[in-house]
Amino acid sequence: MRLTDAERAMLDGREGAAKQKAMDLLMRYGEALGAERLVETQNVAGAFNASTPSVRALVAKGYDAVYSELNLDSREVVPIPKMAVNTCQLITGIDNENWRTQGIADELADQQKKAEGHFGALGINMFATCTPYQVGNVPVRGEHCAWMESSAVVYCNSVLGARTNTEGKESTGAAALTGRIPYWGFHIPENRRGTHLVNVDVEVDDIMDWGLLGYWLGEIVQEDIPVLTGKIRQPSLIKLKHFGAAAASSGGVEMYHIPGVTPEANSVDEAFGGRKRQDTLRFGAAERKLAYDTLNCATDRNVDFVMLGCPHNAIEQVWLIASMLEGRKISPNTQLWVHTPRALREVAERNGYVKMIRDAGGMVMSDTCPAISRHVPKGTRVIATDSAKQAHYLPAIVGLPVWFGSVKDCVEAAISGRWNGGLQ
């Protein structure tokens, strides 16, 4: 790879051992990719916490050891300085207030808080959400970023028009210290153009249908770049948040275009930019049903855990759930967790939504989700969720069957303890 003088200085160790290790990793990673150079970034979203049981041994050696191994792939422990660029923490495994509800040991919650205290003081902003774009990190069009979290990456590229690959824990750790990331993939304008035209033949408007479209599409196009046309109503943040997360779970979609909606495509032609089109895909009633049936792997209609808010709910989603629950009580056999970023929870608290949900017997959770924490309420046998992403991952991660449906289906399941959802 070609390096600038400043990058060479870091690699040679003239800027300290941590930046040297960071550059060493970026070189190995860039060469693995076949990248020719690095690009400057001022916006990093990564995973820096140390709260899982498996990192306990590293934590005992100190936070420099944690960062060196897990964020820089360095066996040698190097002193970690302050972050060089704007850096934030994505979702974590533990709700800093409700860890006991999650069933997490006090010791691990304490471990996370101490790690946050250490890394926070180095300049890592503890957003603790999978949706940094909801709480103050909103990159502008063309901005080079180094983000983890597949649902945030696809949002960043497609909806915001900023540029990031799906980075990992080690590459974001190195980017935060150097302000560099390999210039490869979605950083290069030609690679951002569409590959497949998708004709949407059934109307896609409500949030569940955006999830079904994304889940079906991801499995087919994998990492390719779909261009959506047809019966699509004007989407909003919450719909595209769900759509992208679904497409990045069944496949690896990191970018899509909706001509007239997303910023890099005013027209279908502009979305493709002259790139050779692959097969045109069609999303009709049969494809919609296939996605729905694939996501619903449960058979027992008795539901004992309802999970809402993956990716983390926007404030209007919390309000919708609170409104549906007003004056009602959830089943004594069912637990309901509603997930939203901590910064938005503050607003939900202020508005009384947290109390409305609590009065009905539910909980508002932040900082985490069941898939990341690998924790569901003790004794759970059947889960219901409005998230295609959680429905995809939870059977593998916690080994339990899942019902997938609309927010309303899920709230009704929480109240009755029975799944009565279905495809309309």
Partner 1 sequence: MSVTEVESTTKIILRGRKVVGGCAEGEALVTRDTISGWGGINEREGTVIERRHELRGVSFKDKVLVFPGAKGSSGWSAYFHMTRLNNVAPRAMIFNKMTTKVALGAVVTHAPAMTELDQDPLKVIETGDWVKVDADNGVVEVTKKKR
In the complex, which residues of this chain contact partner 1 (CB under 8 A)? 25, 28-29, 32-34, 47, 54, 69-70, 73, 147-150, 153, 165-171, 182, 184-185, 222-223, 248-249, 251-252, 297, 371, 392-393, 395-397
As measured in angstroms, the least distance from the Cβ of 114 to partner 1 is: 20
Q: 124 pairs with which residues across the strands? A: 87
**Which is closer to partner 1, CB of 95 or CB of 149?**
149
Distances (CA, A) of 186 to 35, 164, 176, 214: 12, 6, 19, 20
As measured in angstroms, the least distance from the Cβ of 218 to partner 1 is: 8
As measured in angstroms, the least distance from the Cβ of 182 to partner 1 is: 8
In the DSSP assignment, the letter for residue 423 is -
**Which is closer to partner 1, CB of 6 or CB of 55?**
55
**Helix or strand (DSSP H, E) at 308:** strand 305-308
As measured in angstroms, the least distance from the Cβ of 419 to partner 1 is: 19
**Which is closer to partner 1, CB of 300 or CB of 326?**
300
Separation of CA 416 from chain center: 30
As measured in angstroms, the least distance from the Cβ of 165 to partner 1 is: 4
As measured in angstroms, the least distance from the Cβ of 185 to partner 1 is: 6
28, two tokens = 């190995």
Q: Where are the beta strands (DSSP E) in 4-131?
A: 38-40, 43-46, 86-89, 124-125
As measured in angstroms, the least distance from the Cβ of 346 to partner 1 is: 27
Q: 198 pairs with which residues across the strands? A: 228, 281
**Which is closer to partner 1, CB of 16 or CB of 252?**
252
**Which is closer to partner 1, CB of 99 or CB of 186?**
186
Q: Is 231 helix (H, G, I), strand (E, B) or coil?
A: strand
Q: 111 pairs with which residues across the strands? A: none
**Which is closer to partner 1, CB of 93 or CB of 362?**
93
**Amino acid code (one letter) for 37:** R
**Which is closer to partner 1, CB of 99 or CB of 184?**
184
Q: Which residues lie below 8 Å from residue 177, measured CB to CB, with a gap of 6+? A: 18, 19, 22, 72, 80, 81, 83, 84
DSSP 220-231: HHTTS-EEEEEE
